[in-house]
Each structure stands twice: as C-alpha cells, then as structure tokens.
Amino acid sequence: MTSPVTERPIRTLLIANRGEIAVRIAEVCRELGIRSVAIYSEPDREMPHVRAADVAIPIGGRTPTESYLDAAKVLAAAVRSGADAVHPGYGFLSENPDFAQAVSEAGLVWVGPTPESMRAMALKVQARRIAESAGVPIVPGAELDGHVSDSALLAAGESVGFPLLVKASAGGGGRGMRIVSTAGELVEAVESAQREAGSAFGDSTVFLERYLTGARHIEVQVFGDQQGNVLHVGERECSVQRRHQKVIEESPSPGVTEAVREHMLEAAVSLAKSIGYVGAGTVEFVVIGEGGSQDFYFLEMNTRLQVEHPVTELTYDVPLIEWQLRVAAGEALLVEQAELQPDGYSLEARLYAEDPSQGHAPGSGRVTRMEIPEVRVDAGVESGSEISTYYDPMIAKVIWSAPTRDAAALGLARALRAAVLHGPVTNRDMVVAVLESDDFLAGHTTTAFLDEHPELLDPQVPAARRALHLCAVVIAAAHEARELVADEPAASTAFAPSGWRNVRAVPEARTFAGGDEQVTVAYERLRDGVWRVGTTSSPVELIGAAEIEWLEVPVRASAARDAQGDVVVDLESGERIFARVIRSDDGLITVHDGLWNSRLHDVSRFAGEAADDVADGSATPVPGTITVVAVAVGDHVTAGQTLVVLEAMKMEHRIVAAIDGVVTAVRVEVGQAVDAHEVVVTVEGET
C-alpha cells in the first residue's frame, strides 16, 4: 500500500535556467499564481527571461561553469529569494542528482524526479544496464575504463563494429558525441568527446555504441506522481538532426508501426515504474526497419523535461509544466491513461543562430528585429537581444498544430517564411526547405535525413525574386535620401540627390555583397514611380563600360516607412511584392517579402584594399575560447591536421591546416578568448 503523500503548495519558485524554458516556466507560474524568481549571468542581464519573472537575482560569471552550472550559487539564490521550490528546466543542473539532493536537504521542493531515480538513469552506461535487466532491447556497445589504453580502446571499437558512436555518459544535446567510421579515427574522437563532455557536464566518461544507419529517433514522454502512478503521453519523432541535435520534432511519428509503438510505450512505462519515477521524463529509442520487420532499441532516459515538450502538449492537450509543479507539490495525476489520445499532428522547429551552409557554424550578435506570426513561439530572445557565445545559439521554438501532418508541416513552413529575422544568420531557410521537401512530407525521415539531402542546407532565393529584392534595396535607399517623395522633392535634394553623378549617360549604382558574391545594381528614375533597374558584376567605378542586364519590364515602385521605421517598397515588375527593407548600423540589410528573404551587405565604393599579410593563416570560424593548441612553431603539418581546438556555444570546433607546410607562428594559447575570423596559426607551404 502506498504511503500517503503530504502536499506542499508552491508559493515561490526559483527557475534554475535561462532562455526560452525559463520564460515558459515563468508564464506558467503566472497562470497558477506562483511567484517566480529568475537567475542570470553577466551576459544575460538584458535577456527576456530576466524580465519574465517577478524577481531576478544575479549570480555572476560568464561561462556556464561560472554561472548556471554552479550549484552553490544557484542554491544560495534560491534561499536568498525565499523560494520554497526549484525548477531546473532542461540542461545545466536539471539531471544532476547531487544538486537535487542539496535542494531537498535545504528544505525546498525539487521539481523533478527523486535523486535516486536520477542517479539510476543519469549515466547512460548505468541506464543501459538497467534497461537490459528489465528486458528492454539495447544497442550493442562497450563501456570504457577511465584511462583505457589506445590498444584496449581499438579492441573495444572492433568488438562494437564500425561505424560507431562515442557518447558521453552524462548529459545530452549531442555534446560529447562523435561518429567514428574507421579505427584510425577512434582515439582522437574519444579524446575530443571526453574534453567536450567534461566541459559541458563535469563528467568526461564516454562509451561506445553501434551507429545504426537508416534509423528513426523516437522518444516516449512518461510522467509519474508521488502516489506511484506512471503513464505515457505518446511518442515524438526527432529524426531530423544536425550534429546529433534535434532540429524538427513531431508527434505522432509518421513512420512507426502500431505494433512497435505499442511495445515502445509499454517498455517506457515499465522502465519508469522500475525506478519509481516521479515527474516528467523521456525514454529514447532508435527504430529501424519498416513494416513487419521494424524493431526498436533503448538509447537512454532523460530525467527532465525535454526541449520539444510543446509538441506533446499540443497534440495531447496537456500542460506538462503545470503537471510538474502540481506533482512536485504532492498532488496526484488526475488523468487516466485511456484519456490520453492524440488529436491531430504537431510539429516544432528550432530556430538557431547558425549557418547550415558552413557546417552549421554557430553565430552570435544582436537580433535587431524578430517578428514571428501568431503561432506558438517559445523564445528566449527578442528584438534587441544579444546572442552570446557562451550559451546554446537557439533563438526560439516555433510550433504548429493541424488535423493532418501535411497541414501541420506546411503551416509551420509558411509561418517561418513569414517571420522577420534581422541579425545573425539563422537556419530558418533550411528548416523551411526541409518541411516543404517531398521526402519529409512523405514521412521518409531518419537521422541521416540532412546528410542525404544536402541541397536543403542552403536554399537559394529564386533569381526573379532576388532581382526584385535588389530593386527594393536601391529604391528604399532613394526613399531614405528623399529622392522618392509623394509630393515635391525637398529643396535640399532637388538639385543633387544622394548618389547623384554629373555624367547624365551613366546611371546611379550601388554595390552589395550577398553570400560569396558581389553585385552592382544600376538604377534610373524614368518618371515618378517608374524606375529602370539592372545588375552587373562590374564594380561601381567601372559601370560606364559595363554591360548592364536591365530588367525587361520597368519597375513601378512606391515606398513608405512602417510603424517600426523600416521602408516598405511596393514593387511591380512582372509580379508584385511588398518588400520590407531592414538596415542596421553595421551595413547588414535584410529584405523580407513574406515568402523569401535576402541578406545583403553594403559595399563601400571608396573602401581601400584590405591588408592580407596573414592570408596563409588558419582563422577561427566563430568567437570562443581556445581549449587545445596542438602545434608549435617549427612543426611540420599536413592539410587537414588539427592545429587548434576552439570551444564556442558548448561545441568544439577543430581548426585545421589548409596546406602541407611548417608552422611559422602560433598566435593563441589555451584559455584565450578569441573573436571570429581571428588568425590563430600561420603555416608556410614547403617548397
């Protein structure tokens, strides 16, 4: 017989996290009448989660280790604030049983599973053992001792078979994980994964696991209360990933058979019951095969709320964070398993500040404009927010529900197309291309989806629409210079408007950089509201001799400023669009027409030649901190050899030699902070 549970109502909740999950928890607290307390590091002083809570407490530091991973600081903030409960969100300390224990010993309510349950599942190695003893099929793998020799490591790799995964035993989110195709890559992959795992989770333990190709990544949402009740809230598919981190999640899965679904759901609940699980958790599986030959294997259990929990909330109409708070306070679940039935389909896309065309390199900088249509948006940044190099580069989660999967996918794609994003490069266009692709809509999704569809990584604006965007930019510039007015030209610009030249036969022109190319746009006002616009690859100073490719149809255009102060250009040339032109002080221009977006940079016509004295050097792709310097002056290196390892946004970036040669300069040291595009090592080619 289950012992009675004493209820402890939560009055004040400290949110031990940042970003969109902290904002979301604060919103739920407001709905329930609970006072919320935020914590923040130095880079996060002005972030939305600080204002979303009723009270905010600084904990100092810049890196995760100095701030949100410092258990003593977080617990001290909870006590100082008068909180009677702590919600860890996900990531950081959310799966740290020692922190959960410390919270409970301080007399506060821990919003999560018991420390004992967390310890049972916190380390993937131990979780595999528990699952195997419970009869749940597991992926073939091998455990590693802390100081395994290279020969023993290679023997373990051969026993597992290649390709394989090196995986961190602690944590998740794709950190501390490496795909290894051959034995020759194994030692370096293990060392790299150990460094990353130690930095991100404070535990450098890794293990080996067979890499199953052509697999789906499926996870089951489980939930338990203190009275011993455990149920599932269906499954989510999270197969579309990059760097082992999820990009698109959905519920229900489009590719799991009913037989496998039923067995997975049962296995997840059975595993949760075996460890007396309380609160929200996720049991993750890989599914391989199709039809009657389909099978599944246990991967791990996440003893916390997942990033992608909104798709379950919308598909099953359940408030998971509210459930977490009520169960932590001692209330029983008031729903039966049979009542939890999916209604339609929900999909979530994660918007990241990263460039998919450059290996998903994370970005940073100010989000000067962010407007996403009326869909569910869980965001940790807003217009004016700064994307820091210290934390994950996720901007927001955008979620859409519909009666059918096609409608949900295409509706989400349309909402993302309509979003206005000005600032760092994002993965928005890639996500839209995935959602609209035939294979995705057909449900042909595996963890190799993006590898098999590289054309989706960098979709291009159609040429005709790109030409109109260029028109919009120069006409917006003319409007800003008072060349284009509804009435009479201003006296100050009537004689010599901006860009005016005293050679009548030569049109005005501006040069822009877009991606890896530069284009010069020539334009002439034929009469009020009608323009002739063309493009050329020649620079502005040579445009008189250039062959300009004029648009076949003159452009009808008018322009006006909107409520945000941006210029909106009404363009008609074969087709009609309304293009919003957004500028920032650093020369970035975003053109947004509701369906397509172009990013351009102004190129000064008077810019001198840049110094190129370090052109033979290897440079940093993003800002970050140097963690490894693998070479010294005088070393002979080969193309592709690792020179320096950079840690940025919780990920490692290897900076490699571009050529065979000799190291002539090492410009950084371990622990040094560096900016993007900073040369770290110079290599001189051997003659």
Q: In CATH, what number is assigned to the domain containing residue 50?
A: 3.40.50.20
The answer to whether the CB of 428 falls within 8 A of the CB of 381 is: no
Show which of 603, 635, 655 is a domain's final residue. 603
In the 3-class helix/strand/coil scheme, how is 270-339 assigned residue by residue?
HHHHHCCCCEEEEEEEEEECCHHHCEEEEEEEECCCCCCHHHHHHHHCCCHHHHHHHHHCCCCCCCCHHH
Q: Which is nearest to 209 in space by CA: 245, 263, 159? A: 159
Cβ partners under 8 Å of residue 518, min gap 6: 511, 512, 537, 539, 603
The answer to whether the CB of 653 falls within 8 A of the CB of 627 is: no
| 107 and 25 assigned to the same domain | yes
What 8-state DSSP symbol labels residue 358? G
Q: Measuring CA to CA, how many Å separate 600 from each of 73, 214, 519, 520, 523? A: 44, 38, 10, 12, 17
We report the CATH number of the domain holding residue 656 as 2.40.50.100
CA 593/CA 79 separation, integer angstroms: 50
Range of the domain at 289: 216-456
In a domain, 71, yes or no: yes
Report pLDDT for 687.
63
The answer to whether the CB of 643 falls within 8 A of the CB of 617 is: no
* Strand-pair partners of 598: 591
In a domain, 609, yes or no: no
| 434 and 484 assigned to the same domain | no
Backbone angles phi, psi at 622, to 5 degrees: -145, 165
Based on the residue annotation, tell me whether 304 is a catalytic residue of this protein: yes
| 394 and 335 assigned to the same domain | yes
Q: Measuring CA to CA, how many Å separate 80 from each of 96, 106, 120, 346, 390? A: 21, 12, 31, 40, 26
Show which of 603, 630, 662 is a domain's final residue. 603
CA 170/CA 163 separation, integer angstroms: 22
In a domain, 653, yes or no: yes
| 144 and 28 assigned to the same domain | no
Report pLDDT for 3.
59
CA 436/CA 80 separation, integer angstroms: 50
We report the CATH number of the domain holding residue 162 as 3.30.1490.20
Report pLDDT for 605.
55
| 326 and 431 assigned to the same domain | yes
| 313 and 440 assigned to the same domain | yes
In a domain, 125, yes or no: no
Catalytic residue among 304, 414, 417, 465: 304
| 247 and 297 assigned to the same domain | yes
In a domain, 286, yes or no: yes
| 452 and 408 assigned to the same domain | yes
Cα dihedral sign, 487-490-494-499:
negative
Report pLDDT for 17.
98
In a domain, 121, yes or no: no
The answer to whether the CB of 272 falls within 8 A of the CB of 222 is: yes
Amino acid type, 191:
E
| 384 and 451 assigned to the same domain | yes
Number of independent structural domains in the chain: 5
The answer to whether the CB of 161 falls within 8 A of the CB of 180 is: no
Q: Measuring CA to CA, how many Å separate 130 from each of 117, 159, 536, 629? A: 11, 22, 66, 40
Q: Measuring CA to CA, how many Å separate 311 from each of 317, 441, 489? A: 10, 17, 54
Q: Which tokens go with 99?
A: 């922190």
The verdict on whether omega for the bond into residue 252 sits within 30 degrees of 0, i.e. cis, is yes
| 431 and 573 assigned to the same domain | no
Angle, in degrees to the nearest 10, between helices 124-133 and 258-274: 110
CA 144/CA 161 separation, integer angstroms: 15
Q: Measuring CA to CA, how many Å separate 443 from each of 163, 248, 285, 316, 493? A: 25, 13, 18, 21, 58
Mean pLDDT for each 10-residue chunk of the chain (687 residues)? 76 98 98 98 96 98 94 98 97 94 98 95 84 86 84 92 89 80 93 85 85 93 97 98 92 97 96 96 95 93 96 98 98 96 98 92 91 93 92 94 98 97 96 98 96 95 93 91 50 44 67 85 89 86 76 92 92 92 90 94 59 56 83 90 81 83 92 81 84
We report the CATH number of the domain holding residue 451 as 3.30.470.20
Report pLDDT for 4.
76
Q: Measuring CA to CA, how many Å separate 112 from each of 9, 225, 328? A: 15, 10, 7
Amino acid type, 194:
Q
Torsion over CA of 69, 21, 627 and 685, rounded to 10 degrees?
A: 180
Number of neighbouring beta carbons within 10 Å of residue 4 = 9
In a domain, 610, yes or no: no
User: Phi-psi region for residue 365, left (φ > 0), alpha (ψ -120 to 50) or beta?
Assistant: left
| 412 and 284 assigned to the same domain | yes
In the 3-class helix/strand/coil scheme, how is 520-539 assigned residue by residue?
EEEEEEEECCEEEEEEECCC
Show which of 603, 628, 661 is a domain's final residue. 603
Report pLDDT for 486.
43
In a domain, 135, yes or no: no
| 328 and 285 assigned to the same domain | yes
